[in-house]
Amino acid sequence: MSRATLRTRSGSLLVITLWVVTILSVLAVAIARYLAVEVRLAKYRLAREQAKALACSGIYLVMQQLAHDADPQNVPQPYEAYDWLGDDWALPREDLHVAGGRITVRSVVDEERLLNLNAATQEQLESLAGSSPAATAILAYRDANTSGETPVDEPPYYQKNTPIKAMEELADIPDIHDTDLAKLQQLTSVSTDAVMPPTVNINTVEGDVLIALGWPKAVVDPLVASRPGADGVWGTPDDRKITDATITDPAQELERFTGIPAATWNPLLTTIKTVASSSVFRIQVEATAGSPPVRQRIDAIVKRAPDGGEILAWREQ
């Protein structure tokens, strides 16, 4: 075999080798990228599940605190039941740092401070939302009485004609703007138990809710201002609250808190069912896990009980 032939074959082998190396390199890069994506997805899924587990833990942690607060055996005697805005469950909490993540309790709100959206009248809804069209649209949406209605009489959207079960439904109703929606989400609940007169925790009820219920602003403002006591700080001994022991005659206590005569309070108190303890709470918890952090938020509505309570509604996002 001549030298020229050997050189030709050697050159061919070199070219083939280079092509093989190039192809293998391309395949290696492609496989590496594919595996890198799979690894990132696996890490994200793991972090997502961890964040979800942490958020669930936060909900159950708050439920346990509420249950502990409701059990007379866990507090010094004599026991007087009450919930107020200086209670442990109502005060801001520090984030709870755990292995691999963080739990943040965004808010805990008792529903006895809110107005039931499914029982509110036109005037009450107008007072809260500040909009007559919004109030009319809500009443038409939830109204179960459809007798005499025709397509011409109805607004151009689907009428549910049953109680509202989630605040998100309001976003689908015409004439409810973002500002109206924000107020309603802050000041109303969507309990399907339309009890009249409304049950109100006099220690926590929002001032705007009392005004919507027909209470004069001249008595509502002093009541709200008196709650944190003279020092204006929640959770201190001078906080003013009514307990189950004094709820039988709340007008006398309200007179002591505000200086407004009991005779002024008595007729107002007949418009509501006054309580000092709350039983249903809205809890919002957010948790983060992984790096970069993955967030999971859970909103829950729970009914408190000494044995742990009951979950009435649950939403993950």
Those residues of the chain that have pLDDT short of 70 are 1-11, 72, 74-80, 144-159, 192-195, 245
Q: Which residues pair with 311 in a beta bridge?
A: 302
pLDDT at 165: 84
pLDDT at 150: 46
pLDDT at 30: 79
**SS3 of 16, please?**
helix
- How many Cα atoms are found within 13 Å in the side-chain-facing hemisphere of 68? 10
* Residue from 187, 160, 170 nearest 134 by CA: 170
Task: Give dist(CA 143, CA 129) in Å, integer.
Answer: 18
Domain boundaries, the chain: 1-118+191-317
pLDDT at 67: 87
In Å, what is the CA distance from 177 to each residue of 49, 124, 131, 158? 35, 17, 9, 18
Enumerate the H helices of the chain as residue ranges.
3-70, 122-129, 132-142, 178-187, 207-212, 217-226, 250-258, 262-269
